[in-house]
């Protein structure tokens, strides 16, 4: 998947060897795309939250994701403790996706979150920083096959 400030969320079911890559921009995060992906994995593959490992990659950090109230209010269900969403404020998209994972039952110890901000760190592509000149970063996940007794099996 390609991103340049959006949140890449990579999911793996260690029991069933199922994977998902979630492209969670602010709209998708507000619509709880990560939680919905977990629900899809459960319906499609029989995945259980206790078998999921998640990685939240580099993305625009709360330090740089300042939004107006029209966007901030979209996150009121995910940040019920916040009283500043009716004004210009900063939103932590990684935390919103982490909360979706946790509320769905994924153990905190199985959620890895990068601390890297794509806007602050010039080593990353950032649409907010570079606009149309921004490139894209690639995130991927898969299951490696290994040979076992003459046939391939997931690793």
Task: Report domain extents, the chain.
Answer: 2-131
3 state SS for the chain: CEECCCEEEEEEECCCCEEEEEEECHHHHHCCHHHHHHHHHHHHHCCCHHHEEEEECCECCCCCCEECHHHHHHHCCCCCCCCCCCCCEECCHHHHHHHHHHHCCCCHHHEEECCCECCCCCCCCCHHHHHHHCCCEECCCCCCEEEECCEEEEC
Assigned CATH topology for domain 2-131: 3.60.140
Q: What is the pLDDT tens value at each position of the chain, 155 positions in all?
A: 899 899 999 999 999 999 999 999 999 999 999 999 999 999 999 999 999 999 999 999 999 999 999 999 999 999 999 999 999 999 999 999 999 999 999 999 999 999 999 999 888 878 888 788 887 888 888 887 666 665 666 65
């Amino acid at each position: 998947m390609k991103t340049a400030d959006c949140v890449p969320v990579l999911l793996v079911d260690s029991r069933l060897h199922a994977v998902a890559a979630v492209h969670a921009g602010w709209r998708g995060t507000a619509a709880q795309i990560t939680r919905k992906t977990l629900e899809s994995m459960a319906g499609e593959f029989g995945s259980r939250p206790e078998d999921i490992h998640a990685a939240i990659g580099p993305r625009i950090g709360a330090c740089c994701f300042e939004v107006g109230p029209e966007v901030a209010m979209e996150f009121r269900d995910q940040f019920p403790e916040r009283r500043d969403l009716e004004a210009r404020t900063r939103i932590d998209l990684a935390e919103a996706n982490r909360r979706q994972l946790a509320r769905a039952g994924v153990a905190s110890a199985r959620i890895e979150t990068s601390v890297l901000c794509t806007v602050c760190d010039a080593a990353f592509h950032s649409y907010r920083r570079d606009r149309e000149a921004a490139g894209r970063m690639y995130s991927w996940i898969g299951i490696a096959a290994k040979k076992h007794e003459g046939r391939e099996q997931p690793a």
